[in-house]
Amino acid sequence: MEERQQDPQRPKAPAWNPYLATCPTRQVLDCIADKWAVLVLGLLLGGTRRFGELRRDIQGVSQKMLTQTLRSLERDGIVHREVYATVPPKVEYSLTTLGESLATTLDELRLWAERNIEDVLRHRETFDAAVASEGPSTSARNR
């Protein structure tokens, strides 16, 4: 395996470890592991969208939750917010280069969920039936 030479002018990057409670990568993981963030990024992979389009296309998301999600993604440099000086104001959201790399990765997660949902539901049903047949005292004792 070829060893990469480090540029002596460039400071060494810290060794991030998300398994440590104090690692800042956990904050990013919290943001991108959110179901609303995954869905927003999936839609923005298809191109620029306005707030109302995102809200309409993501059933079940509240205005407040969508606003919080978009602000968090904008803060992390994943989403770009463009405000046009029109009456009424026009606001569009798009992916940054960083956001495109993340959205592509997360879209694989969405596709996995779509491909495997039937198996997951079948396993849940089997598990729930087994727990129900054990009775309350047995299942509580084994947890």
For residues 107-135, average pLDDT: 94
Two structure tokens written together for 52: 């109302």
Tokens matching residue 41: 């990024």
Residue 103: count of CB within 10 angstroms of its CB: 25
Query: In the prediction, which pLDDT does 115 show?
Result: 97
pLDDT at 133 over 60: yes
User: In 10 A of CB 109, how many CB atoms?
Assistant: 13
Q: How far apart are CA 116 and CA 108, in angstroms?
A: 12
Q: Give mean pLDDT, residues 45-56.
A: 97
Question: Mean pLDDT across the stretch 5-13?
Answer: 63
CA distances from 89 to 34, 84, 94, 108 (A): 28, 6, 17, 34
The two three-digit tokens of residue 53, written as one number: 């389009």
For residues 34-45, average pLDDT: 94
